[in-house]
Amino acid sequence: MGSGSVVAIAAESDLPPVHSRNIWHDGPLCGHRQQIIHAATIGSLAARVFQCAADGRVAAVFRQSFYVDIAGSWICIVRYGVGNGPINVVLKNTPGHVWPLEIKVGNDVQVSRSELLVGEGFTVHTGLARRWSPPPVPASSLADLARGLNALAAAVQGRIPRRGLGSFLTGSWPSSGAPLEALKARASVRALCGWLWSGSGSDLEVPMAVSTLVGLGPGLTPSGDDFLGGALIALARLRREDLACRLYWQIQPDLPSRTGAISRAHLSAAAAGEGLEALHAALDAVLTGASGSIGQRLSEIDRIGHCSGWDALAGAVTVLRSAPRIWSRSEATVA
């Protein structure tokens, strides 16, 4: 919930300023200081946007990131240290000047195969950027997962935000005193759990009640959207892309009318099994029963937006708890 999201930014964190190289232009741009900075990494979905020349605009600006809409395709430019994600372009931390405060919503953007130009003053070169995509699914077993879920249940005590849907991480249903969003989401999450636990057949209908999570809560990426995004990514980590497709098909008709374009972009990425690097790391720690690393992973989750990381993790863990029913019974492990 808020200006962060399941796969994009940590706009409220306190990171050192990103730096860039400044040059003075002669000729038509004389008098304009242009900042040129190279990207360190580029997400797999963001990289597709750079395959051909196109025009767009700056659609949202935050303290450490800004979103660009290129004919309906979305890129999130983030400063060094914020983290990788499928639509993220992470800038290098090189000597020079600070994060460009002059970038505004509505600025024109031009994209080519190796660079992004914002107005007349800011250029991002992507030609040498390392391509980022989620790591391969690690080898895991139900015993590993049970160990990871137990460690997570202990680690979240006292850490869950008092807003959003993080209370679903405890394994019990939110009751009086829980955040309003969690109370509103109970029926939808029960419906999702019922669908998951009813069996592993991909022909089972997703309950319509699950769609009421779309747009639940305030902010750029509402808590309900982040929860659904986490669920979609977890299904992919369990190698149940068929169930992820059914879930996404159920919620997709409601997306245009109930949530914003940026959140829709993140959900589309999640439907493809891709989210923020920190979320993948947390999920894989739980999947493999890496109890010793879960505390650190939760610290990384806590830095994603206001409570978006917790919302997404709650959706993912809701799916992971159903693994005994939706993992293929013919496989002892997932690898």
- The pLDDT-based confidence of 24 (bands split at 50, 70, 90) is very low
Residues 123 and 115: beta-carbon distance below 8 Å: yes
For residue 20, the 8-state DSSP code is B
Dist CA 285 CA 149 (whole Å): 10
pLDDT digit string, tens, across residues 234-258: 999 999 999 999 999 999 999 999 9
Q: What is the mean pLDDT of the chain?
A: 87
What residues does 78 pair with on adjacent strands? 65, 90
pLDDT digit string, tens, across residues 106-154: 999 999 999 999 988 899 999 999 999 999 999 999 999 999 999 999 9
Chain centroid offset of residue 107 CA: 25
- The pLDDT-based confidence of 209 (bands split at 50, 70, 90) is very high
pLDDT digit string, tens, across residues 309-331: 999 999 999 999 999 988 864 44
Q: Which residues have CB under 8 Å from 225's CB, separation 6+?
A: 6, 213, 214, 215, 216, 259, 263, 266, 267
Helices assigned H by DSSP within the chain: 44-49, 142-155, 180-197, 223-237, 241-251, 255-258, 261-271, 277-287, 294-302, 308-320, 323-326
Dist CA 59 CA 50 (whole Å): 18
- 167-171's contacts with Cβ under 8 Å and 24+ in sequence apart are 167/314, 168/227, 168/314, 168/315, 168/317, 168/318, 169/310, 169/313, 169/314, 169/317, 171/321
Q: Which of 91-95, 106-110, 178-182 has the lowest mean pLDDT?
A: 91-95
Dist CA 91 CA 297 (whole Å): 23
- Residue 232's pLDDT is 98
Dist CA 73 CA 45 (whole Å): 9
Residues 263 and 119: beta-carbon distance below 8 Å: no
- Token code pair at residue 147: 């160990």
Closest by Cα among 139, 135, 134, 136 to 335: 139
Q: In sequence order, what DSSP letters do the residues of 198-267 get, joined into one string?
A: T-S-TTSPPPGGGGGGTT-SSSSS-HHHHHHHHHHHHHHHTT-HHHHHHHHHHHGGGHHHHS-HHHHHHH
- The pLDDT-based confidence of 204 (bands split at 50, 70, 90) is confident
The amino acid present at 147, given as its one-letter code, is R
Could you tell me how many helices (H) and strands (E) the chain has, helices first?
Answer: 11, 12
